Chain A
């Protein structure tokens, strides 16, 4: 592990208005598992894109095994033995595993040979996968295996993994780590990008920490506490949200026997969901992406109609009502997808404030819009939630993810909901915005509202919710208090390894 595989010297890349990487230098040894740690926007993605040949550095040099390395495009980076598993999978749902892999190859071998090689690689590395299964039927963990095997077929010297565990259950993470350790022991170096500190502590040999495009520290994760790494990453001492102890009130939301068919072909239908939510409570719903989270939000927001008494709000059946009648009764929602679902990208913040605020904030009079009141509402959200924008006339798409998310959450919170449903409230949001959003959720609950938080971030759910349940293939697990849950139990509630065979390495 002493030989240097890839050496990076003084890489700098600037975009208009922002320096994404500023004089970044570090080395990766042969067979080393190297963590790249940093917040959203710290420059991790730009850095790996430069290594993978997607982006060209403004200055600085890279060398691979001592020879100069400047890939003009991903193809040549792959030819030099660099492979990358992206955070978002690029797979076609309607094709099978082997076809998907063949699509990414320069000269795909005949399908039968390819299937055989897929089987070989998958067995060698403990990633069982049937080459002829249709990708649309695979779980997120299995899809990731497809991506990993696609990389391994190239026999890479350096494997770059971008936030690989965000879609996995704890058990699936274990399987992945066994595979990565085996690869590392065979001499494949791994550049592992994450912001999950405990994972990095258990997997990685060294860590390089980036903040605002600069290297702010390196450490040996096994010998450093998670808190120290987090503070290096953020640059200041972190303020953790304070849960407040307060008495719970009456049942605000009562879901009994909720079953809904998913509107999309590869979606997940909800099957017989039961839960009750009390005033002042935060209930966390975990689960791997694609297990019915979007459908649950749609069924609660009113985008999907259900049997009328499947959902009761303060005892009143609302399942048959559309979004606006539900808003009138105090049931508000904030979907996961900020651009295009929670907000219209090309519309101004004022117009976006109207999107859900028209009913409760009385922004229309017999159909005619009250633009002055709407602008005032947008300005109130911007001020109360510290949304960084020149003003409410700016388009939603001009805001950063964190700022737009604060706007979206703020828009619902300021409407004084009696029940608020949020899906992935802090996905892709920087740490300070995430802390602010979590605090807002806790404050809302403290004022007596009931909050349902759907999230794939288990740490987040453990931090803010009083009780926890998991969605697994459209079914909801038992609901348990978070205080006495172990990671293993949570993993099992999420469906364990999702029917994936455990690796035999």
Chain B
């Protein structure tokens, strides 16, 4: 019989090793899956993990890695603060949409004026839009004790309707021949989230994501507020004893994750996407939840997890087009990654022991 035994304290080795082992286990299990679909497993795994980074067309895929990874990281960093404290913002997708709509709206309001202050104002408005959308579940939770999981999630669907309405009405391009969607911000220099180094994929959102990682790291490890966040997550009663004000913490964590998600939305709409469209959002806000956990809620882990997730997306697309793998197989593959990570996570706090017959 195999029995799990709680370690006296978390294992440092497994804490660091589980992501690596999880990726390797995913490669093995994914290889078996691909083989059973009649594809060459080695080629498929290579296509997913090698092709985007070092393959023939890597000059195109590498910038994509930054463009797809940055919003995931930015949102996941915000979410991780709340998750650490046991505050579950599931509605980052909605905050991402609202950041994009509000930020793009501010930019479009200035059209066609060209001025240096337009883009900074849009950044502020994007953050504010996401923040305000997250304040709804936050205030409801603080005032009435509602469940932030449900409220934030349901507000995603409200945000999607607002997005559709904006794309069809308020923000629709007047010169767009009646097609839905706003003006393309890429063609409006003052509002364009342009690449800082052309062709590198490094736009302002990528830079902001890196800053957010550093900010979160310092907050969690060097600041009282970060300590209170961790304490609330680990022992809520001890946190109140330590003088933590739970309401303020809820407002901060939800507000911060909303603002970062809003920023991600703004950088996306003003850069890679370019315009507010009905189907502008592609699920970054939900995938970021996986990224946050894949990075074990640690800022540096999230940085790596965000890029790893972006890699499997890009690699998955290549595998679909080059090897003809079904999209569902790629999704299973991505799911396996999270599954193995969470399963192996157990080893941080438990060790496996073989026992004799005695198993009470």
Is B222 located at the chain interface by the 8 A CB criterion? yes
A56 to chain B, nearest CB (A): 5
**Known contacts A367-B224, A397-B9; is-contact A301 B234 (Cβ 8 Å):** no
Is A345 located at the chain interface by the 8 A CB criterion? yes
Is B8 located at the chain interface by the 8 A CB criterion? yes
Which of B227, B231, B242 is in CB contact (< 8 Å) with A369?
B227
B205 to chain A, nearest CB (A): 28
Is B10 located at the chain interface by the 8 A CB criterion? yes
For B5, the closest partner residue in chain A by CB is A16
Is B56 located at the chain interface by the 8 A CB criterion? no
Across the interface, do A342 and B241 meet the contact criterion of CB distance under 8 Å? yes
Cα–Cα, bound, A472→B224 (Å): 39
In the complex, what residues of B have CB within 8 A of residue A398's CB?
A: 8-9
In the complex, what residues of B have CB within 8 A of residue A394's CB?
A: 9
Across the interface, do B10 and A344 meet the contact criterion of CB distance under 8 Å? no
In the complex, what residues of B have CB within 8 A of residue A339's CB?
A: 235
Is A55 located at the chain interface by the 8 A CB criterion? yes
Cα–Cα, bound, A181→B245 (Å): 53
Is B360 located at the chain interface by the 8 A CB criterion? yes
Report the stretch among A114-122, A185-193, A347-355 that lies at the interface.
A347-355
Across the interface, do B245 and A322 meet the contact criterion of CB distance under 8 Å? yes
Query: Interface code B221-246, partner A: CB below 8 Å = 1, 0 otherwise?
Result: 01111010011001101101111010
The tally of residues in B whose CB lies under 8 Å from a CB in A reads 21
Query: Interface code A283-323, partner B: CB below 8 Å = 1, 0 otherwise?
Result: 00000000000000000011100000000000000000011
B357 to chain A, nearest CB (A): 8
Across the interface, do A344 and B227 meet the contact criterion of CB distance under 8 Å? no
Which of B222, B225, B242, B360 is in CB contact (< 8 Å) with A54?
B360
Across the interface, do B240 and A303 meet the contact criterion of CB distance under 8 Å? yes
Across the interface, do B9 and A340 meet the contact criterion of CB distance under 8 Å? no
Cα–Cα, bound, A19→B234 (Å): 32
Cα–Cα, bound, A303→B225 (Å): 18
In the complex, what residues of B have CB within 8 A of residue A343's CB?
A: 235, 238
Which of A73, A302, A369 is in CB contact (< 8 Å) with B224?
A369
Is B175 located at the chain interface by the 8 A CB criterion? no
For B231, the closest partner residue in chain A by CB is A344
Cα–Cα, bound, A301→B239 (Å): 13
Across the interface, do B231 and A347 meet the contact criterion of CB distance under 8 Å? yes
Across the interface, do B223 and A355 meet the contact criterion of CB distance under 8 Å? no
Is A341 located at the chain interface by the 8 A CB criterion? yes
Cα–Cα, bound, A356→B242 (Å): 6
Is A232 located at the chain interface by the 8 A CB criterion? no
Cα–Cα, bound, A355→B10 (Å): 20
A417 to chain B, nearest CB (A): 15
Cα–Cα, bound, A193→B225 (Å): 46
In the complex, what residues of A have CB within 8 A of residue B224's CB?
A: 358, 364, 367-369
For B234, the closest partner residue in chain A by CB is A344
Cα–Cα, bound, A324→B242 (Å): 7
B234 to chain A, nearest CB (A): 5
Across the interface, do A395 and B9 meet the contact criterion of CB distance under 8 Å? yes
Which of A55, A341, A358, A371 is in CB contact (< 8 Å) with B238?
A341
Is A29 located at the chain interface by the 8 A CB criterion? no
Across the interface, do A340 and B227 meet the contact criterion of CB distance under 8 Å? no
Across the interface, do B240 and A55 meet the contact criterion of CB distance under 8 Å? no
In the complex, what residues of A have CB within 8 A of residue B234's CB?
A: 344-347
Across the interface, do B222 and A369 meet the contact criterion of CB distance under 8 Å? yes
Across the interface, do B223 and A367 meet the contact criterion of CB distance under 8 Å? yes
Across the interface, do A345 and B235 meet the contact criterion of CB distance under 8 Å? yes
Is B279 located at the chain interface by the 8 A CB criterion? no
**In the complex, which residues 46-83 of chain A have their Cβ closer than 8 Å to any Cβ of chain B?**
54-56, 73
B346 to chain A, nearest CB (A): 15
Which of B225, B231, B242, B245 is in CB contact (< 8 Å) with A367?
B225
In the complex, what residues of A have CB within 8 A of residue B10's CB?
A: 346, 395
Across the interface, do A356 and B241 meet the contact criterion of CB distance under 8 Å? yes
Q: Which of B9, B10, B243, B358 has the most chain A CB within a 10 Å cutoff?
A: B243
For B232, the closest partner residue in chain A by CB is A344
**Known contacts A303-B241, A369-B222; is-contact A341 B358 (Cβ 8 Å):** no
In the complex, what residues of B have CB within 8 A of residue A93's CB?
A: none
Is A3 located at the chain interface by the 8 A CB criterion? no
Cα–Cα, bound, A347→B235 (Å): 9
In the complex, what residues of B have CB within 8 A of residue A345's CB?
A: 234-235
Cα–Cα, bound, A302→B241 (Å): 8
Cα–Cα, bound, A348→B81 (Å): 20
**Known contacts A322-B243, A324-B243; is-contact A351 B227 (Cβ 8 Å):** yes
Is A228 located at the chain interface by the 8 A CB criterion? no
Q: Which of A302, A345, A346, A364 has the most chain B CB within a 10 Å cutoff?
A: A346
In the complex, what residues of B have CB within 8 A of residue A367's CB?
A: 223-225
Which of A322, A344, A371 is in CB contact (< 8 Å) with B235?
A344
Cα–Cα, bound, A335→B239 (Å): 13
Cα–Cα, bound, A358→B241 (Å): 13
In the complex, what residues of A have CB within 8 A of residue B223's CB?
A: 367-369
**Known contacts A368-B222, A369-B223; is-contact A341 B242 (Cβ 8 Å):** no
B347 to chain A, nearest CB (A): 15
In the complex, what residues of B have CB within 8 A of residue A358's CB?
A: 224, 242
**In the complex, which residues 189-239 of chain B have their Cβ closer than 8 Å to any Cβ of chain A?**
222-225, 227, 230-231, 234-235, 237-238
Across the interface, do A355 and B242 meet the contact criterion of CB distance under 8 Å? yes
Query: Interface code A319-336, partner B: CB below 8 Å = 1, 0 otherwise?
Result: 000111001000001010
Which of A55, A302, A356 is in CB contact (< 8 Å) with B360?
A55
A363 to chain B, nearest CB (A): 9
**Known contacts A322-B245, A341-B241, A342-B241; is-contact A395 B235 (Cβ 8 Å):** no
Query: Interface code A443-461, partner B: CB below 8 Å = 1, 0 otherwise?
Result: 0000000000000000000
Across the interface, do A323 and B245 meet the contact criterion of CB distance under 8 Å? no
In the complex, what residues of B have CB within 8 A of residue A395's CB?
A: 8-10
Across the interface, do A355 and B360 meet the contact criterion of CB distance under 8 Å? no
Cα–Cα, bound, A394→B9 (Å): 7
Is A337 located at the chain interface by the 8 A CB criterion? yes
Cα–Cα, bound, A441→B234 (Å): 29
In the complex, what residues of A have CB within 8 A of residue B358's CB?
A: 56
Cα–Cα, bound, A322→B224 (Å): 17
Cα–Cα, bound, A426→B186 (Å): 69
B216 to chain A, nearest CB (A): 15
In the complex, what residues of B have CB within 8 A of residue A355's CB?
A: 231, 238, 241-242
Across the interface, do A340 and B360 meet the contact criterion of CB distance under 8 Å? no
Query: Interface code A23-60, partner B: CB below 8 Å = 1, 0 otherwise?
Result: 00000000000000000000000000000001110000
Cα–Cα, bound, A54→B234 (Å): 30
Cα–Cα, bound, A98→B235 (Å): 35
B77 to chain A, nearest CB (A): 19
A327 to chain B, nearest CB (A): 8
In the complex, what residues of A have CB within 8 A of residue B240's CB?
A: 303, 323
Across the interface, do B243 and A341 meet the contact criterion of CB distance under 8 Å? no
Cα–Cα, bound, A398→B238 (Å): 17
For B235, the closest partner residue in chain A by CB is A344
Instruction: List the 7 shortest-distance A-B pairs measured between CB atoms, nearest first.
Output: A324-B243, A395-B9, A344-B235, A323-B243, A398-B8, A341-B237, A56-B358
| 6 residue pairs from A and B, CB less than 8 Å apart | A56-B360, A324-B243, A344-B235, A346-B9, A355-B241, A368-B223
Extra contacts besides A342-B241, A369-B222, A395-B10 (11): CB < 8 Å: A54-B360, A303-B240, A322-B245, A340-B235, A340-B238, A344-B235, A347-B231, A351-B231, A356-B241, A368-B224, A369-B227
Q: List residues of chain B with CB under 8 Å of any chain A CB.
A: 8-10, 222-225, 227, 230-231, 234-235, 237-238, 240-243, 245, 358, 360
